Amino acid sequence: AQSVAQPEDQVNVAEGNPLTVKCTYSVSGNPYLFWYVQYPNRGLQFLLKYITGDNLVKGSYGFEAEFNKSQTSFHLKKPSALVSDSALYFCAVRDITSSASKIIFGSGTRLSIRP
């Protein structure tokens, strides 16, 4: 079965420092991986996705994610954190056993950036 795991419920980073939000996946076949962000009282917004090609994927708001096949990971990164990056982040994988573009979400990681 397709799944993703986000091992950290919360990540705390000082403003200006690099940040990493971890995600590991388990899929059969090639993975289609996504990161979404949820700001307070809002719906999810797409950040970036990996389908194929370069292992480093660049997305919105200066975020990037590194696909690592050997470690089955897709960690979200940003070189310099902003207070406005504080939000809930979800890793997700496309369920290729479904014809309906279903996405399976991780449990989420709350990112808190302190000034």
Nearer to other proteins, 82 or 105 (CB): 105
Spatial distance between the Cα atoms of 89 and 71, rounded to a whole number of angstroms: 20
Could you tell me the smallest distance in angstroms from the CB atom of residue 54 to other proteins? 15
Considering only the stretches 17-25, 37-45, 65-73, 78-86, report the one whose residues sit in contact with other proteins under the rule CB under 8 A: 37-45
Q: How far is CA 62 from CA 18, 53, 76, 100, in A?
A: 11, 20, 11, 30
Using rule CB under 8 A, residue 54 touches other proteins: no
Q: Is 17 or 69 the residue whose CB approaches other proteins more closely?
A: 69
Q: What residues contact residue 5 under an 8 Å CB cut-off, 6+ apart? A: 23, 24, 25, 26, 106, 107
- Please report whether residue 90 would count as binding other proteins according to CB under 8 A: yes
